[in-house]
Structure formats: C-alpha cells, structure tokens
Amino acid sequence: MHPLLALSIVIREEALLLGHQRWVFGTLLPEAQADLLRDKVAAVGQQLKDQLITLSTAQYQLEAYSVPIPQIRALTAKWSASLKKAPGAAVLVDPTTGAVVTNLTPPRP
C-alpha cells in the first residue's frame, strides 16, 4: 500500500471518530464541547453586564476556559462597552429630585 493512501485512510478515520467539529472562539472543538464553551462564555458575559463580576474576573474565567487572548480582548471590549453606567455604592441620589447628594454629613440639631 502506498504511504499517501495509508495516510489518507488514517486521516479519514480520525475525522470520522471526532465527528462534526465547530470553530468557536478561535478553537476547533467537537460539537458538544463547542456548545458548552459558547454557553460558558455567554454566562460570563451576562454576569459582567449585570455587574456581578469585574472585568478582570471575566478575563481570568475566559483564560481558564482556554479562550485565546485576542478573542478575550474582543469579548471584554464588547461587554465593557455595554455595561450599565450607574452610580457607585458610595454615591447617594435624592429620590425626589434625582440629584447626587454630595454632603454626606448628617445635619446638626
């Protein structure tokens, strides 16, 4: 048997064993793993948008999922652009006027 024919048979059999592959976040994965990775990344994005985690935490989680660095940068840039802009915990807003309260000392009697 010719070596190229043997090589092509081996490659074909390996492809059949692996099944359908998908290109997800810069990585070629089997279909089930690709779906799982897509769900994990979507969950991280939603947690960041809901401000349950920080941007650096999201980056560390994506690195733990073996997402390549260029995709991590693109995803976090997209997500950070859509973050809800709200006053921080140390800022008080007057519910009647909507103005930011800067004087946080209580009035003296």
Which domain range does residue 35 map to? 22-83
Residue 73 lies in a domain: yes
Q: Is residue 7 part of a domain?
A: no
Q: What is the pLDDT of residue 29?
A: 82
pLDDT of the residue at 73: 92
* Contact between 41 and 74 (Cβ < 8 Å): no
8 domain residue, yes or no: no
The single residue listed with the structure tokens 């009035």 is 107
Distance CA 36, CA 59 (A): 18
Residue 100 within a domain: no
Contact 11, 18 (CB under 8 A): no
Domain count, the chain: 1
pLDDT in tens, 74-97: 998 888 888 766 555 555 666 777
Does 12 reside within a domain? no
pLDDT one-digit tens code per residue, 14-62? 776 777 778 888 877 888 888 999 999 999 999 888 888 888 899 999 9
Please give the model's pTM, rounded to 2 decimal places.
0.61
CA distance 107 to 54: 36
What Å distances lie between residue 91 and 51, 55, 58, 102, 103, CA to CA?
17, 21, 25, 8, 10
Residue 104 lies in a domain: no
Domain contains 92:
no
pLDDT at 104 over 60: no
